[in-house]
Amino acid sequence: MSHPPFALSEEVAAAVRDGDPVVALESTIFSTLGLPAPHNAEALRRCTGTLRRAGVTPAVVAVLDGVWRVGLEPGEEERVLTGERKVAERDLAVAAAQRWPVGVTTVSATVALAERAGIAVFATGGIGGVHRGAAGDVSADLDALAHHPVITVCAGAKAFLDLPRTLEYLETAGVPVLGWRHDDFPAFYVRSSGLPVPHRVDTAAEVARVLAYRARPATGALLTVPIPREHELDAAELTASMDAALAAADTAGVSGAAVTPYVLARLEAETDGASVPANLALAENNGAVAAEVAIAVATIRRQADDP
Ligand code: PSU
Ligand code: MN
């Protein structure tokens, strides 16, 4: 059996080996499938900058020349920013087998590669979920959270998804869903979806212990962090924009993996661009919380190693 082509950057390999804190980042959000240029580059700069200032090594995950990559080498960022092929977990094998030049990883592919690299914490903007309507579209993100022991830090999921069903799915799949110093499941651009989060947590050490004490060896946890108050969008206006974006997707007949990028782009137009700075602010904030959690995980692991 040959092994899949898999490589850690030099910096990430050293940090993992030394037990230093590392946070994985998905690349779909930094491609134009996630954010329009030049905001995608700004998002990447801000997320990696926040992690580095906290003393944490960022590990951007992507597929480059068919190789599953965890951490980029200097100069490779541009390739990710212009990547156009979305890679979910099931696409990883195909991207490697067919040697895709650039594939940008979603939440599901990123948690899979983070686990493989020995990274316990992953930061993103929002996860995919159960879509509204009868099409039965359920993001592979949800299943992946149940199968990889990684803490995913996000601002909840976008309200164009069916959030009650998304939470139900996570319950059935056995994924702990935590609220960071908050009692409600956040809805990305707004701090609360109106749905309670199953468990509130107030410290990074608690989150690290949730991972350490997991009942199943291979299940992760979802840590939801509300968007900072000053960047929250108006809930009523947002509902109207979401409805318009969903109706446009319906009319255009988009389906499958194209739905999320399509709705994201429409939403930007419907909100006159207001969705973009909010998205950048929450992604950076999630990075800051993920950094704290990664430091707490590294501390617990060092204590466990202490004879
Ligand atoms: N939600 C966002 N921005 C994003 C995504 C979701 O607010 O960029 C991306 C993430 O990469 C997520 C993916 O994993 O969309 C989910 O896609 P799908 O619904 O096709 O599973
Ligand atoms: Mn889907």
Atom of ligand 1 nearest to the CA of 29: 8
Q: Which pLDDT tens digit goes with each residue over 75-126? A: 999 999 999 999 999 999 999 999 999 999 999 999 999 999 999 999 999 9
The pLDDT of residue 268:
92
C-beta separation of 91 from 30 below 8 A: no
The CATH fold assigned to 6-143+230-305 is: Indigoidine synthase fold (3.40.1790)
Number of Cβ atoms within 10 Å of the Cβ of 130: 21
Rounded-to-integer distance, Cα 84 and Cα 73, Å: 20
Cross-strand partners of 23: 58
**CA of 256 relative to ligand 2 center, distance in Å:** 5
Answer whether 26 contacts ligand 1 (Cβ < 6 A). Answer: yes
The pLDDT of residue 305:
82
End-to-end CA distance of the chain: 37
Q: Which pLDDT tens digit goes with each residue over 184-217? A: 999 999 999 999 999 999 999 999 999 999 999 9
Q: Which pLDDT tens digit goes with each residue over 247-306? A: 999 999 998 999 999 999 999 999 999 999 999 999 999 999 999 999 999 999 999 887
Rounded-to-integer distance, Cα 86 and Cα 158, Å: 18
**CA of 199 relative to ligand 2 center, distance in Å:** 27
Cross-strand partners of 68: 6, 63
Mean pLDDT computed over every residue of the chain: 96
Q: Could you tell me the pLDDT band of residue 2, with boundaries at 50, 70 and 90?
A: confident
Residue 3 has pLDDT above 90, yes or no: no
Q: Is 26 a catalytic residue?
A: yes
Max CA distance (Å), the chain: 63
Rounded-to-integer distance, Cα 113 and Cα 298, Å: 19
Residue 54 has pLDDT above 60, yes or no: yes
Cross-strand partners of 122: 24, 152
Q: Could you tell me the pLDDT band of residue 1, with boundaries at 50, 70 and 90?
A: low
Q: Does the predicted TM-score (pTM) go above 0.95?
A: yes
Indicate which residue of 77, 89, 115, 158 is catalytic: 158
Residue 134 has pLDDT above 90, yes or no: no
The pLDDT of residue 307:
64
Q: Is 99 left (phi over 0), alpha (psi -120 to 50) or beta?
A: left
Percent of the residues in the chain that have a pLDDT greater than 70, as a whole number:
99
Residue type, 245: A
Ranges of each domain in the chain: 6-143+230-305
Residues near 80 by beta carbon (within 8 Å), at least 6 away in sequence = 27, 30, 31, 44, 60, 62, 64, 72, 102, 104
Would you give the DSSP letter of residue 2? P
Q: Is beta strand 121-123 parallel, antiparallel or unpaired with respect to 102-105?
A: unpaired
